[in-house]
Chains A and B, each alone.
Chain A
Amino acid sequence: MSDRLRAFYGQVVAVAVALAIGAIIILMVDESPAKVFVTLVRGAFGDQAKIAGTLLQTTPILICGVAACVGLRGGMFNVGIEGQLFLGGFAAALVGFALPLPSGLHMIVALVVAVLAGAAWVSIPAYFRTRYNTNEVVSTILSNYVAVLLTSYFTIFLFKRPGGWSETPPILPSAYLPEIFSFSRLNWGLVVGLVLAVAVAWLFRHTARGYSASMVGSAPKFAEYGGIDVKRQGFIVLLASGAIGGLAGGVETLGVHHRFMEGFAPGFGFDGLIAALLANGSPIGTIFTALFFGALRSGSLLLEVDTNASREIITVIQALIILSVSAQVLMKRRGDSTAGERRWKF
């Protein structure tokens, strides 16, 4: 069995184990697992509006997932995507309502600013990582809290829409990411995500820069011996990952909410990270895992209304998936004598 096939097989088992334990928990709250799973599927794919709803939920998970893939492949564990998403979302809103530009151009400028905001935000942990070898896991996690509170501060004290909930003024229609269908809020952000996933996969497979980044990720000593500036490469990888995180926020602002609200999209950064881990750091694989999580999320909204089970059962299933995936990684490492040399095995 090839490595890739074995990895795929392992992930399927992980998901199956998680769903089985989830079924037991559903039985414990006196609901039929069959009914719950059928409702989940109906809620995710029941009609065209539901399918669009699933894709709408998939979009931010996918883009955040690609951001995580870039980090994972390059040997950098960017846990700060959540914060980069908030900064990117806020920056896009700011351009959207404060800087009138021609239609189309406005949207592109806002997205570019979101990308820059995400990159700028991650550049702080990235600098410390490169200069002082600070653990980027810790510093990027911490930067999330600062980002969420900082954008809250901006929203409430500096840019609040007069007389409303804690949100910025609405962005101008010229900055909207257009919707794909008339019956859903699903927008071209999904296409942005798909193109990005394919582009990143291509970059890693077919370009020298992508190859050196993934060499730094999988075998840093070898990469250094081969003449790659490992520190510089790590910095660039983190910056790219953060830039994509910022883009995810920009897409949410310009495509869905059309303004920035305090605490506007909590948890997508982490969902994306999980999707990327489940896909073994493969951007193409992340398309499918993000769709899986998007469907779970979207299905859970109907689940809550049509059955007695709580929507949070989905969070439980997600957590179980993480547990079984990491258990698997640990088991794999035990059989691999070189694993101790590596930080992450992908």
Chain B
Amino acid sequence: MGNGMRNLFKKYVVAGAMLAASIGTAGAQDKVSVAAISGYFAQGFGVSIVNGLNRAKDEFGIDLKLVDTGNRALDYEEQFANLAKDGQYDLIFVMGWELVDALQKASEAYPNQRFVFIDGVLDSDKIVYANFAEEQGSFVAGALAGLIENQGSSFDKISDGKAIGFVGGRDIPVIRNFLGGYEQGAKYAAPEVKVNSVFAGTFDDPAKGSELALALYGQGTDIVYNVAGPTGEGVMQASAAADKYSIGVDVDMCGSAPGNVLASMLKRGDIAVYTLIKDEVEGRKVTPGTRTFDLASGGVEVKVCDDIAANIPSEITAKLDEIKKEIVDGKIEITKAK
């Protein structure tokens, strides 16, 4: 066989193989495959993400793989590599800051794999970021707290102190963004109400959260918004002890202190993952960059607790709906702090 023949032969074989490969991938592309990796699928925000994934699975019949990272940092890189190695998954959702290192390495090693990092934005431009407009949700929470505080002693458990409060975890930009939205919302809806804010310096100390919240309640503050992770759980407990009000964050916290939790500012992880998968299934390919889930898309919302909702005067509810609409329409502009 001459050289020319051999090359010709090679060409046919290669073309045939490529054809076979393209048929193969076309078949596989029919169904969207999604994986999610995190150590928090059993807790608050993680549960919401699992709900969104399962909803997408039920509605679109996608393939879904959940991987629990456990808590050994040694394992993370191999877990990412095992998921990404075959290119089997169209999207891999990642949640948890401790996974950032492994995520960045995996996105370098598997440049064609699309990773979605939930609830945060990193430096790399190869990753999809599902971000939440916390300042919008916090604005509504601030407006709600301000309007209720403005009712004074005519409202159950409210004094005439005209002050609402905020307990943050650590003093970092993302928490400042919550505080900024909350202050602007309160100022917009009830200019005469003052906002007292404190930072616990830690996300892991419920006792500290409780202590700070009790101090705020002692100074005549009637409603305290907690953005402090587990530290915030202490804030919720303190609202029951002082028989005042608290506002929860991220997930529905109405059950933490029934009767004393006014509302929760929800980050809807389920809506974020569901929306991204829906886009992918319907042919709008998810590409690297930041996707922000806001009031308009339902990615953040303020849920008033059922046991409180009945006591809230209809004009406050109407005013809140108006504020939400104005934020969605862009009539209210909220300054971001990050």
One digit per residue, 1 when the CB lies within 8 angstroms of any chain B CB and 0 when it does not, for chain A 249-288 equals 0001000110001011111000000000000000000000
The SS class assigned to the A binding surface is: helix
Given the complex, which residues of A lie within 8 Å of B243, measured CB to CB? Answer: none
Asked whether any CB of chain A lies closer than 8 Å to the CB of B211, the reply is no
* CB within 8 Å for A165 and B100 given contacts A56-B74, A265-B74, A301-B82: yes
Residues B70-118 near A (CB distance < 8 A): 70-75, 77-79, 81-83, 97-98, 100
Given the complex, which residues of B lie within 8 Å of A185, measured CB to CB? Answer: 77
Residue contact B82 to A302, C-beta cutoff 8 Å: yes
Asked whether any CB of chain B lies closer than 8 Å to the CB of A345, the reply is no
Residue contact A156 to B97, C-beta cutoff 8 Å: no
Residue contact A266 to B71, C-beta cutoff 8 Å: yes
Q: Give, as a whole number of angstroms, the nearest-CB distance from A55 to chain B.
A: 12
Asked whether any CB of chain A lies closer than 8 Å to the CB of B202, the reply is yes
Asked whether any CB of chain B lies closer than 8 Å to the CB of A193, the reply is no
Given the complex, which residues of A lie within 8 Å of B65, measured CB to CB? Answer: 305
Residue contact A298 to B73, C-beta cutoff 8 Å: no
Given the complex, which residues of A lie within 8 Å of B73, measured CB to CB? Answer: 257, 261, 264-265
Q: Give, as a whole number of angstroms, the nearest-CB distance from A165 to chain B.
A: 5
Residues A12-47 near B (CB distance < 8 A): 43
* CB within 8 Å for A252 and B100 given contacts A302-B82, A305-B83: no
Asked whether any CB of chain B lies closer than 8 Å to the CB of A102, the reply is no
Chain B: interface residue total (CB-CB under 8 A): 22
Asked whether any CB of chain B lies closer than 8 Å to the CB of A311, the reply is yes
Complex: A305 Cα to B97 Cα, angstroms: 21
Q: Give, as a whole number of angstroms, the nearest-CB distance from A38 to chain B.
A: 15
* CB within 8 Å for A165 and B97 given contacts A265-B72, A305-B82: yes
Q: Give, as a whole number of angstroms, the nearest-CB distance from B177 to chain A.
A: 14
Please indicate which of the listed interface residues A43, A49, A298, A301 has the most CB atoms of chain B within 10 Å of its own CB.
A301
Complex: A245 Cα to B86 Cα, angstroms: 38
Complex: A151 Cα to B3 Cα, angstroms: 68
Given the complex, which residues of B lie within 8 Å of A267, measured CB to CB? Answer: 72
Residue contact B98 to A301, C-beta cutoff 8 Å: no
Given the complex, which residues of B lie within 8 Å of A165, measured CB to CB? Answer: 97-98, 100
Residue contact A304 to B67, C-beta cutoff 8 Å: yes
Complex: A264 Cα to B73 Cα, angstroms: 6
Chain B residues with a Cβ under 8 A of chain A:
35, 65, 67-68, 70-75, 77-79, 81-83, 97-98, 100, 172, 202, 204
Chain A residues with a Cβ under 8 A of chain B:
43, 49, 53, 56-57, 60, 156, 163, 165, 185, 252, 256-257, 261, 263-267, 297-298, 301-302, 304-306, 310-311
